[in-house]
């Protein structure tokens, strides 16, 4: 059976997901698009051979032509749309973050638990990136001994104009908050945020350096610099007791060109994480077909938003914020 997917939000991420669903996802097809910008919606519908029905997100979720939902509209629209998908009993892949507040995420977990089945996947696609998956396996196997540090770098070429100092934590660093939990298999105990002098390249306060300690005593540090000018550059180095392991550059070749020797740097996340997006969408569809969910759960989405919120307090109050332990509910085991 083909899973008919309705897409909400046809910007950078939504268009990418739509093209991927139509070309590289097994057992699925796009059946409807909701997008507030009519020209953008019509262009994508035409490109993909769909009828433009002018549905809004909530009407799309209720529409009988939609079996499952992908949400790629802005962060502050995610929670209400995800709740509507749960109410309709339809599997939903919601782009990160799951919600912009802890309360929004808690409401989603409560609704999903009341529905009695796992319907929500959060678009933390790095959990499907082969590099991060290999780092996680190295930790599970204790291949290089017990982990001590996880050093992360998150640099974008140019931030969008809506990127604020807070969103660098809640919209960008939230990826590392999630992926370090995934790689290390541990929850956080505390968080601190410091910044050097601000770059003159952007109005938002950056770079920012986030330091998190896990309950097991691993230190995770994240440099977030989303106007780094030279390209999209995501790195991760795991330092363990008897060795280290790092994400390899994403390009399969090196080049010597115009007096330089090296790898081409990705311009943005679309190419760098293309495999991860494809694997994530395929996992979503396969899980939906079997009545289960894959990837980051609503609880994982909640934890990422909770820690990002603690980061905001740590930065504004210039202090270490302790993260209260919170058990994973049995529903999310």
Is 183 a binder of ligand NAD (CB under 6 A)? no
User: Residues 122, 125, 180, 210: which binds ligand NAD (CB under 6 A)?
Assistant: 125
* Selected range binding ligand NAD among 11-19, 111-119, 241-249, 313-321, rule: CB under 6 A: 11-19
Q: How far is the CB of 129 from ligand NAD (least distance, A)?
A: 10
Is 34 a binder of ligand NAD (CB under 6 A)? yes
Q: Which residues, 285 to 314, sit near ligand NAD by CB under 6 A?
A: none
Is 52 a binder of ligand NAD (CB under 6 A)? no
Using H for helix, E for strand and C for coil, what is the string for the chain? CCEEEEEECCCHHHHHHHHHHHHHCCCEEEEEEECCCHHHHHHHHHHCCCCCCCCCHHHHHHCCCCCEEEECCCHHHHHHHHHHHHHCCCCEEECCCCCCCHHHHHHHHHHHHHHCCCCEEECCHHHHCHHHHHHHHHHHHCECECEEEEEEEEECCCCCCCCCHHHHHHHHHHHHHHHHHHHHCCCEEEEEEECCCCCCCCCCCCCEEEEEEECCCCEEEEEEECCCCCCCEEEEEEEECCEEEECCCCCCCCEEECCEEECCCCCCHHHHCHHHHHHHHHHHHHHHHCCCCCCECHHHHHHHHHHHHHHHHHHHHCCCEECCCCCCCHHHC
Is 72 a binder of ligand NAD (CB under 6 A)? yes
Q: How far is the CB of 245 from ligand NAD (least distance, A)?
A: 23
* Selected range binding ligand NAD among 12-20, 127-135, 193-201, 254-262, rule: CB under 6 A: 12-20
* Number of amino acids touching ligand NAD (CB under 6 A): 24
Is 9 a binder of ligand NAD (CB under 6 A)? yes
Q: How far is the CB of 199 from ligand NAD (least distance, A)?
A: 21
Q: How far is the CB of 117 from ligand NAD (least distance, A)?
A: 24
**Residue nearer to ligand NAD on the CB measure, 170 or 192:** 170
Interface ranges with ligand NAD (CB under 6 A)? 8-14, 34-37, 40, 57, 72-75, 77, 95-96, 123, 125, 171, 269
């Amino acid at each position: 059976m083909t899973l008919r997917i309705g897409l909400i939000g046809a910007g950078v991420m939504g268009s990418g997901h739509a093209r991927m669903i139509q070309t590289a996802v097994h057992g699925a097809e796009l059946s409807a698009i909701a997008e507030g910008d009519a020209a953008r919606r019509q262009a994508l519908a035409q490109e993909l051979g769909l009828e433009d029905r002018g549905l809004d997100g909530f009407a799309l979720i209720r529409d009988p032509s939609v079996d499952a939902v992908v949400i790629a509209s802005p962060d502050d629209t995610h929670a209400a749309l995800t709740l509507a998908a749960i109410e309709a009993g339809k599997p939903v892949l919601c782009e990160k973050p799951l919600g912009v507040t802890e309360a929004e995420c808690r409401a989603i977990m409560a609704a999903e638990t009341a529905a009695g089945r796992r319907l929500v996947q959060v678009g933390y696609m790095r959990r499907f990136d082969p590099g991060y998956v290999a780092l996680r396996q190295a930790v599970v196997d204790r291949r290089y001994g017990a982990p001590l540090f996880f050093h992360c770098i998150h640099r974008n070429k140019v931030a969008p104009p809506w990127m604020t100092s807070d969103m660098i934590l809640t919209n960008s660093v939230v990826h590392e908050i999630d992926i370090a939990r995934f790689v290390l298999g541990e929850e956080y105990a505390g968080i601190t945020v410091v910044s050097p002098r601000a770059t003159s390249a952007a109005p938002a306060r950056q770079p920012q350096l986030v330091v998190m300690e896990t309950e097991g005593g691993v230190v995770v540090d994240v440099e977030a610099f989303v106007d780094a000018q030279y390209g999209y550059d995501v790195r991760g180095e795991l330092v363990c007791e008897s060795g280290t392991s790092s994400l390899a550059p994403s390009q399969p070749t090196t080049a010597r060109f115009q007096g330089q020797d090296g790898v081409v740097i990705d311009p943005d996340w679309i190419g760098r994480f293309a495999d991860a997006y494809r694997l994530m969408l395929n996992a979503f569809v396969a899980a939906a077909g079997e009545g289960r969910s894959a990837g980051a759960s609503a609880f994982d989405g909640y934890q990422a938003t909770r820690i990002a919120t603690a980061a905001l307090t740590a930065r504004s109050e210039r202090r270490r914020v302790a993260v209260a332990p919170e058990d994973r509910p049995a529903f999310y085991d």
